[in-house]
Amino acid sequence: MKPFKALVMLEDGTYFWGRSFTGRGESFGEIVFNTGMTGYQEILTDPSYYGQIVTMTYPLIGNYGINSEDMESEKIHVAGFIVREYQPFYSNWRAEKSLGNWLSENGILGIEGIDTRALTRHLRIHGAMKGGITTETLDPKKFLEKIKESPAYVGRDLVRYVTCNKVYYYGKKGKENFKNFKGEGKYKIAVIDCGLKLNQLRIFVEKGAECLIFPAYTSSEEILSYNPDGIFVSNGPGDPGALTKIVSTVKELLGKKPLFGICLGHQIIGQALGATTYKLKFGHRGINNPVLNLFNKKVEITSQNHGFCVKKEELPKEAIVTHVNLNDNTLEGIFVPELKLMSVQYHPENAPGPHDSIYLFDSFLKLVEGEIENLYP
């Protein structure tokens, strides 16, 4: 595909010149960076990135192509993609097409030739901010005006753009139309879909569960009417402080059934417990984030993707902090035995990332069975 001159610009006026490897276009969103060396397909299809333009810090992207097995949702959710060098000649036995062709087919603008080290350093110093990428408005002053007029990321409910439209079932055969729980699983898990990743459902099924997935704005009464054994609150995009309706629903569910939350689900649970959230300067995004398990003092290398955090000092006294981030000591996990509730800020389902924390799915299913001891081995 013919390359087109492209402009990458931040809302503070900083800009970089590069070239598009996906055709022409223009897009706006919060510009963030991810430190993963692999996993670009999973990142691009992770609904948590809705409304964001992702910069990869690893310098060569695209070398293993795209395949139909590594999708974490049904489509691409990022607003744009920035890399140092794009590799169109992929080599992998599972690959079906190139990254560039896939992005182009889906109308997603991909930019290469950017000094991603300089861009990442700027974001680390000044914080994540709004920005844009374009092949159309190449006058920096005019493009900056467009960026400033684009929607803010903070304060918006973005879950409504990524949650499912109706209830559906996920079991041994994957996604199916909803009829009811089939009874093929040992555990019946109700899932509140705030923008979930498919590997979360796959792991639940592998471990003997079957899942009924609900749109994020489903009432607590409807969820409980199916008498699930446990309730899972998924990851998702945007500012958790804007999700007042979902927080109210989860607050109504506290103590009714065992509860497990990941990433945005963790932030929603934190708010339901009475704490507030705040925006991190540049967030945690990558597959190499060290987290300390406070029960066994072991370090878990984790996959993360979040720009907000729960204020741990505002949690109620009955909430036990289970994990902390070793880079900045922020909250990474909560356990409330009395409520049979647990949550983590990171992604134990990996995809992409290490498998250090996958035990948390077993821990939640133990919680469903009534155990409250030795959940964090």
Q: Which residues of 54-74 are buried (b: 16+ CB within 10 A; e: fewer)?
A: bbbbbeebbbbbbbeebbbbe
SS3 category, 42: helix
Helix axis angle, 264-272 relative to 244-253, nearest 10°?
70
| Cβ(356)–Cβ(324) below 8 Å | no
Q: Which residues contact 146 (CB under 8 A, 6 or more apart)?
A: 28, 132, 137
CA atoms of 5 and 21, how far apart (whole Å): 10
CA atoms of 30 and 80, how far apart (whole Å): 10
Q: Which residues of 357-368 are buried (b: 16+ CB within 10 A; e: fewer)?
A: beebbebbbebb
In one letter, which amino acid is 165?
N
- 75 exposure class (CB count in 10 Å sphere: 0-12, 13-18, 19+): exposed
Q: Could you tell me the CA-to-CA distances from 161 to 165, 195, 217, 252 in Å, in that order?
A: 10, 9, 12, 24
Show which residues are catalytic: 263, 347, 349
Tokens of 60: 């060569």
Tokens of 173: 């055969």
Direct distance between the N- and C-terminal alpha carbons of the chain, in angstroms, rounded to an integer: 51
SS3 category, 258: coil
CA atoms of 347 and 357, how far apart (whole Å): 8
What is the maximum span of the chain, computed from C-alpha positions, in angstroms? Answer: 62
